[in-house]
Amino acid sequence: QQQLQESGPGLVKPSETLSLTCNVSGGSIISNNYYWGWVRQPPGKGLEWIGSIYHSGTSHSNPSLKSRVTMLIDASKNHFFLRLSSVTAADTAVYYCARATGATSGFPDALDVWGHGTTVTVSS
């Protein structure tokens, strides 16, 4: 059973870049079956999909964030990364990394394995 674990700074200053890492254990990130991605939950609000990336580098991301989002995979370390630029207080949230099925269809589908989440606060 694969497990995911997020890591990164808990505090980011406005206008800076938020950088998070997700470590994948219990199996290779180079899988033909899965996308790897990110979901966030602002305080008191619901879940928002940020984006998902396949090990080939093909990615899908939320247009509401697309110009600020970069997702990368480091297969040698079984990690994947999120970078969100020009952050504001509205980016304060719990950030989850999650595995998505659906790679064989070319689009992320159900999010079947999740990390426990990491809280990121944007504040000066």
Partner 1 sequence: DIQMTQSPSSLSASVGDRVTITCRSSQSITRYLNWYQHKVGKAPKLLIYGASGLQSGVPSRFSGSGSGTDFTLSISSLQPEDFATYYCQQSYDTPLTFGGGTKVEI
> Which residues make up the interface to partner 1 (CB under 8 A)?
39, 46-49, 52, 60-64, 96, 98, 101-102, 107-112, 114-117
Angle made by CA atoms 78, 80, 83, in degrees to the nearest 5: 160
Are 87 and 18 in contact by the 8 Å Cβ rule? The answer is yes
Min dist CB 37 to partner 1, Å, is 9
29 vs 108 by CB, closer to partner 1:
108
Min dist CB 114 to partner 1, Å, is 4
16 vs 48 by CB, closer to partner 1:
48
**N- to C-terminal Cα distance for the chain?**
39
Min dist CB 44 to partner 1, Å, is 11
Angle made by CA atoms 100, 106, 108, in degrees to the nearest 5: 25
16 vs 31 by CB, closer to partner 1:
31
18 vs 39 by CB, closer to partner 1:
39
Paired tokens of 67? 């110009």
d(CA 32, CA 48): 25
